[in-house]
């Protein structure tokens, strides 16, 4: 993303996953998950500020934006949408000829595994 380069963070941000559609005009902010090297976390926080919600919680804007398609599991559509964004970004990186390094691949795998377990957990009694 251009914003990462503009803020001089390309050396610590390994991957980005846009979780909302791109906005134009005055309100250009979107929710993005970042794979950040541990050594760069503080720089990223200084550049973007703290996150005021726990990802994948009831306060997560992506979860809140979903229409509850399933009464017993209102989070399921949100989890599925987020999972599709990760898969799309991972595929895009490979199609562009930018295979992930070991750390980035592990970040994607961990994120997708967590989302998979959450979607499975939504249907357990």
Least confident of 67-71, 94-98, 101-105: 67-71
Q: Average pLDDT for residues 82-110, to the nearest whole number?
A: 84
Label residue 97 left, alpha or beta by phi (over 0 means left) and psi (-120 to 50 means alpha).
left
Please spell the DSSP secondary structure of 36-101, one letter per residue.
E-GGGHHHHHHHH---SS-TTSTT-HHHHHS--SSTT-TTHHHHHHHHHHHHHHHHHHHHTT----
Residues 70, 77: contact at Cβ < 8 Å? yes
Of 46-60, 65-79, 84-98, the one with minimum mean pLDDT is 65-79
List the domain boundaries for the chain: 2-121
């Amino acid at each position: 993303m251009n914003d990462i380069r503009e803020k001089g963070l390309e050396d610590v941000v390994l991957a980005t996953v846009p979780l909302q559609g791109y906005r134009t005009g005055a309100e250009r902010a979107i929710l993005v998950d970042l794979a950040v090297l541990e050594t760069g976390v503080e720089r990223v926080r200084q550049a973007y500020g703290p996150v005021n919600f726990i990802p994948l919680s009831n306060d997560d804007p992506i979860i809140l934006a979903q229409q509850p398609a399933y009464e017993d599991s209102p989070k399921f559509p949100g989890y599925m949408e987020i999972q599709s964004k990760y898969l799309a970004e991972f595929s895009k990186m490979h199609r562009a000829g930018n295979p992930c390094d070991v750390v980035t691949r592990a970040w994607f795998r961990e994120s997708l595994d967590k989302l998979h377990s959450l979607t499975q957990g939504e249907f357990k009694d």
